[in-house]
Amino acid sequence: MKTMSDMIARLAAFRGSQGAHFPGAGVPDRLTTLTDFGSNPGRLKSRFYLPANLTKGAPLVVVLHGCTQSAAGYDHHAGWSQLADRAGFALLFPEQHHGNNPNLCFNWFRPGDTRRDAGEALSIRQMIEAMIVANGLDRDRIFVTGLSAGGAMASVMLATYPEVFAGGAIIAGLAYGRASTVPEAFDCMRGQGAASKEELWALLREASTHAGPWPRIAIWQGTADHTVAPSNAEDIAAQWRSVHQLDKAPTRSEVLGVRAKHSWCNAAGEAVIELNTISAMGHGTPLGDGLGVPGPYMLEVGISSTREIAQFWGIAQSREEAVACSATAVIHGKLVTLPSPAERTPGIKKVAPAIHATASRRTPPASDGSGVKKIIEDALRAAGLMR
């Protein structure tokens, strides 16, 4: 049993590790406020961005900020709306407020906010539905990403609503279900109390009744992160390998400067899990390549995780021709051939491609009423997201 003094010490250390920075004036704000998106049981705020060149059936990216950050601040520093202007996708930014969490963290460890159809998780799902209906977005290309507590909340959304998302990206985050109290959250962040792959699999499978196909997952982590231990990235990879039925050994591994990239591919040769570790990087979102602006927990390392994530999902064009996900590795500039997954594990189970999770999606019927608000409310009710 944790004592009250230990709890106070943990909270003080957490505030210290997050720094004194809170969102303030002076940050360019390109976002618009979303209202009337449902019952909002998690009492979250919502912002969005639609580029001028947005077409019908465009993708949607849900972006979850970290502790002490705002939606507009994270967008400015990560460069998401800059990339959206070029690539033509819509953006949704759920936003935390001090009334829910003093440090503006999403409550990724609180059971009432991390279950399907409850709390903050349901609020975010309602925002997504409202954006789809109001803007005619593509239900087969919905993605979610986040940093730190936002990354952990991205894990929550991917686990509790896997049929909604084609892909996700978790930056310095945590595996789903690893904590249900504040002390457990701190232990997880520090890499304490390791879970087995069977426990990680069970946590994910119990989050919904979905039977597949499953979202593609990109994971980003700094090796010198003293806020969220790098072992958490391995837990996330293990959790999603289980439902994708993939071997522990990656199909492809590369070392590209400060970045080590490991990819796991399905039987069709499509990368469905990608783990990126940045050498000597602390806690934050990797920035570079002229996209975004460095700031607190937004770290210039010469690599734009924003651009790389969008390319991994297939919604932004790569500057170079994509390399097929083959059983090879590039190590210090040298190409090395690896055994195939079947050769590494005789009798390996083949899985069908799982790029777009469409099996369980329902398209809400059109409303006979007039007005965007009524159309959205009818859609939410049809999807079982509002009573």
Residues assigned a catalytic role: 148
Contact 324, 269 (CB under 8 A): yes
Q: Cα torsion for 66, 71, 77, 79, to the nearest 10°?
A: 120
Instruction: With H, G, I as helix, E, B as strand and everything else as coil, classify residue 351.
Output: coil
SS3 labels along the chain: CCCHHHHHHHHHHHHHHHCCCCCCCCCCCCCEECCCCCCCCCCCEEEEECCCCCCCCCCEEEEECCCCCCHHHHHHHHCHHHHHHHHCCEEEEEECCCCCCCCCCCCCCCHHHHCCCCHHHHHHHHHHHHHHHHHCCCCCCEEEEEECHHHHHHHHHHHHCCCCCCEEEEECCCCCCCCCCHHHHHHHHCCCCCCCHHHHHHHHHCCCCCCCCCCEEEEEEECCCCCCCCHHHHHHHHHHHHHHCCCCCCCEEEEECCEEEEEEECCCCCEEEEEEEECCCCCCEEEECCECCCECCEEECCCCHHHHHHHHHCCCCCCCCCCCCCCEEEECCEEEECCCHHHHCCCCCCCCCCCCCCCCCCCCCCCCCCCHHHHHHHHHHHCCCCC
Query: 120: which 2 tokens?
Result: 């903050």
Q: Name residue, tokens 């069977």.
A: 198
Separation between Cα atoms, residue 335 and residue 317, nearest integer Å? 25
Separation between Cα atoms, residue 360 and residue 6, nearest integer Å? 45
Paired residues of 370 in beta bridges: none
Secondary structure element (H or E) that encloses residue 182, with its range: helix 182-189
Query: 29: which 2 tokens?
Result: 């704000």
